[in-house]
Structures are given as C-alpha cells and as structure tokens.
C-alpha cells in the first residue's frame, strides 16, 4: 500500500509565505492531502519564539479554513531540510512563497533556484495570493529536450483531481532538427492527454519575442492557473539547474504559480 501523500509548505512567517499557505490550502481541499508547515531556525535559542509563531499561524489557518496543518519547527537549514522533510512526509509537492525570484540580487535568486533543484518532487513557487481556487487552465510549454516528456506524468495528476484544460505551447522554429524533437514531445503529450480524455488546445508562439516571453504573454491572455516547467540535469552528481529561460518565467510569472519539475 502506498503511503499517503502530503503537501510541504516552508515558512518564514512573511506575507509571501502566507500566500503559499493559502495556495496549499486550496490544493489540499481538492486532493485531500494533509499540509505540513516547516520552519527552520539557525540557533536553538530561537526555537521557543519560532514555536510560538507557528502556533499562532496554525490557529489562523484553523480559524480561516477549518483546517489543521501539521507543523515542524527545528534547528536546521532550508537548503537541506526542505528536501529531506519532503522525503520524510512523502510529499507530492512543495509550495513555497518567494518574492526573491523576481529580484535582481543574484545571491538571493541563486538560493531559491538551489532549493527548487534540491527536491525530488515538484516545487511550486508563489509570489502573490491565489486568484482561482483550482488548477483548471494549465500552461504546458513544449520544447525540444527529452526531459520535457517527464512533465506528461503530471497530466494524470491534474486530470484525476481537476477539470484541467491544458494549453500546449510550442516554439516557432524553422530548424528541422529542433522541429522533429518538438514534434516528438508534442505527440507524447497528446498521447497522455487523449488517454486521460483531457481537453487541450495547441498553440505556436508568434516567434517575434523570446520564447519564454511569449509563453508568459499567452499565459496571461489565457488566464492560466499554473505554468509547468522543467529543470535541466547536469552531467555530474545527479544535480539540476534552472536554465535562463525557466528563470525568466519564474521571475515574471506574477500571480501565476509556477511548478518546476526535476527530471528523474
């Protein structure tokens, strides 16, 4: 029997972390997975204050949503403890608020990107409060990489819980090799979608601006509830990186949550 899945929400008790928790509550209400809230302190002497803040936060969630999240307050480091906590609670995803993904401070952005690529499960970054309750319109960019096909497994997840409509967006290119790889990924996506009986719409961007910019333009016009992107595996140590194109989407998505998936 498979252990029950959970949703992990790291918090530093800031406003944007509260936004992430709001998103997690909305997901939890649909998928019926419990929420775990994680807070790390760097010094044991700060534990009492952190536990008090966590208790206040839990009470706020109970009062507002009639929901009782689990909490974890510990001495640790988010860089390692988010990934390990996700494994320990059998998380299906991590939902984290981050205002730093849109800043120009390279160190802060690098820190967030390292967190995203540290997890074995998808990592959803949030910058603003939720607009819609459900993930019904999902932007699904298709590119020429073989890793792109790993997003397709998540078609089943969203189809099982939501009445999702997938917006498959592909780049505008005249390169025959790239076109062949894009068509392979597109065919794979359509196969998954049709097997699930999912609704989908296919688009080709105009090719006037950068692909990532046109993805965001279309996502805004579609009024998307979620954008799904892939990280890129490196050649060593099983590590991943967030390419500049995906970084741009993360930084400029605004009110649209972005799910980053690390290929296995």
Contact call for residues 125 and 116 (beta carbons, < 8 A): yes
Query: Which segment of 144-153, 183-192, 199-208, 236-245 scores lowest on mean pLDDT?
Result: 144-153
Q: Is 258 helix (H, G, I), strand (E, B) or coil?
A: strand
Q: Is 53 helix (H, G, I), strand (E, B) or coil?
A: helix
For residue 185, pLDDT over 90 is answered with no
Pairing of β 123-126 and β 6-10: unpaired
pLDDT higher at 150 or 9 = 9
Supply the angle between the helices 153-161 and 176-195 in degrees, to the nearest 10: 40
Q: What is the mean pLDDT of the chain?
A: 87
pLDDT of residue 251: 87
For residue 157, pLDDT over 90 is answered with no
State the average pLDDT over residues 184-194: 86
| Token reading at 90 | 């059998």
pLDDT of residue 59: 96
What are the structural domains of the chain? 6-126 (3.40.50.620), 137-261 (3.40.50.620)
Q: Encode pLDDT of 90-110 as tens digits.
A: 999 999 998 765 554 555 557
Name the band, by pLDDT with cuts 50, 70 and 90, for residue 178. confident
State the average pLDDT over residues 27-52: 95
Give the position of tokens 């970054």: 125
pLDDT of residue 2: 44
State the average pLDDT over residues 193-210: 91
Q: Encode pLDDT of 226-259 as tens digits.
A: 999 888 777 666 677 788 888 889 888 988 999 9
Q: Left if phi > 0, otherwise alpha if psi is -120 to 50, otherwise beta: which for 164?
A: beta
pLDDT of residue 107: 52
Q: pTM score > 0.85 for this model?
A: yes
For residue 1, pLDDT over 60 is answered with no
Angle at alpha carbon of residue 228, lines to 126 and 64, rounded to 5°: 35
Q: Left if phi > 0, otherwise alpha if psi is -120 to 50, otherwise beta: which for 128?
A: beta
């Amino acid at each position: 029997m498979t252990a029950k899945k959970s949703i992990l929400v790291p918090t530093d008790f800031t406003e944007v972390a509260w936004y992430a928790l709001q998103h997690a509550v909305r997901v939890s209400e649909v998928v019926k997975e419990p929420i775990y809230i994680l807070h790390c302190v760097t010094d044991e002497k700060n534990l009492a204050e952190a536990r008090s803040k966590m208790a206040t936060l839990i009470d706020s969630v109970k009062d507002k949503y009639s929901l009782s999240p689990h909490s974890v307050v510990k001495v640790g480091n988010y860089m390692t403890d988010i990934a390990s906590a996700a494994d320990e609670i059998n998380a299906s995803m991590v939902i984290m608020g981050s205002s730093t993904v849109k800043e120009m401070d390279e160190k802060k952005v690098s820190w967030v990107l390292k967190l995203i690529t540290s997890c074995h499960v998808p990592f959803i970054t949030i910058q603003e409060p939720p607009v819609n309750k459900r993930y019904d319109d999902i932007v699904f960019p298709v590119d020429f990489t073989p890793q792109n096909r790993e997003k397709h497994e998540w078609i089943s997840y969203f189809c099982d819980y939501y009445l999702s409509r997938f917006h498959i967006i592909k780049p505008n290119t005249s390169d025959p090799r790239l076109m062949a790889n894009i068509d392979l990924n597109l065919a794979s996506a359509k196969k998954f979608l049709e097997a699930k009986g999912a609704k989908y719409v296919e688009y080709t961007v105009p090719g006037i601006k950068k692909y990532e910019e046109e993805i965001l333009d279309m996502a805004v016009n579609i009024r998307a509830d979620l954008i799904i992107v892939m990280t890129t595996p490196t050649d060593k140590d099983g590590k991943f990186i967030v390419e500049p194109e995906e970084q741009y989407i993360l930084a400029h998505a605004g009110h649209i949550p972005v799910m980053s998936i690390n290929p296995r």
